[in-house]
């Protein structure tokens, strides 16, 4: 029995349409193939707390796709920090095949899964790195850095500071707007923009905070 049903496919296309993101055949096929891998590997690898495949389309795929318009604004070289099961990095790599995405995680099980995703989906623009973020030393700064996993904006900014520069955009996906966390941002970071993300099928609040370095 297929792990991904026709209703999952319909929910994906319908939700992407509501987000204003049309999916071509390739994107739809790869996103559903990724979902199938996530469902399959989650049983053994505990990649996500979401156990019900019927919830994964909205809470993982559509949630990741909700930041596509902001990634589209620019930047060729992106980093997804604490990528875990690959959100939002894998869906973004599928949506932007002409851009490079590095998925970083310190958990070996999760990077093994991400490597499998790269191989099975043939995502040539995706690189998987197994390392702690503070020890990761790439040769050049990233144009954009995304995260869905960090517990605080302060940690996200502090631990990834060395991976960007004054031109980098930091995209932090959060639940409720974290006003208290913004008060504790490092002095060399500022809030560039805050957007409410309306994710089809998701009940809770979702926000995208875009940070920049001031120096």
> pLDDT tens-digit profile of 129-169?
999 999 999 999 999 999 997 879 999 999 999 999 999 99
Task: Give buried/exposed letters for 59-69 (b at 16+ CB in 10 A, else e).
Answer: bbbbbbbbbbe
**Can you tell me the distance from the alpha carbon of 170 to that of 38, in angstroms, rounded to the nearest whole number?**
26
pLDDT at 11: 96
pTM, entire model: 0.96
Return the residue matching tokens 């409720």.
176
Residue 211, CA distances (Å) to 153, 170, 179, 185, 214 in order? 9, 5, 14, 10, 10
Return the residue matching tokens 């989650």.
42
> Quick one: CA dihedral 22, 73, 193, 185, positive or negative?
positive
pLDDT at 55: 87
79-137: pLDDT as tens digits: 999 999 999 999 999 999 999 999 999 999 999 999 999 999 999 999 999 999 999 99
Residue range 6-213, CATH number: 3.40.50.150
């Amino acid at each position: 029995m297929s792990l991904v049903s026709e209703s999952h496919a319909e929910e994906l296309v319908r939700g992407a349409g509501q987000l204003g993101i049309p999916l071509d055949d390739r994107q739809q096929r790869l996103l559903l193939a990724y979902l199938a891998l996530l469902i399959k590997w989650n049983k053994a690898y505990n990649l996500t707390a979401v156990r019900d495949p019927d919830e994964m389309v909205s809470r993982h795929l559509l949630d990741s796709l909700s930041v596509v318009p902001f990634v589209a604004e620019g930047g060729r070289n992106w980093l997804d920090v604490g990528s875990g099961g690959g959100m939002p990095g894998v869906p973004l790599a599928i949506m932007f095949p002409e851009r490079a995405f590095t998925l970083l995680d310190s958990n070996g099980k999760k990077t093994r899964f991400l490597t499998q995703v790269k191989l099975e989906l043939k995502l040539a623009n995706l690189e998987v790195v197994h390392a702690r973020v503070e020890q990761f030393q790439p040769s050049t700064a990233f144009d954009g850095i995304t995260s869905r996993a960090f517990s605080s904006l302060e940690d996200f900014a502090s631990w990834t500071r060395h991976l960007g520069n004054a031109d980098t955009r930091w995209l932090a996906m959060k639940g409720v707007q974290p006003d208290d966390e913004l008060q504790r941002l490092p002095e060399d970071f500022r809030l560039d923009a805050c957007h409410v993300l309306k994710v089809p099928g998701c009940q809770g609040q979702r926000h995208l905070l875009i940070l920049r370095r001031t120096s």
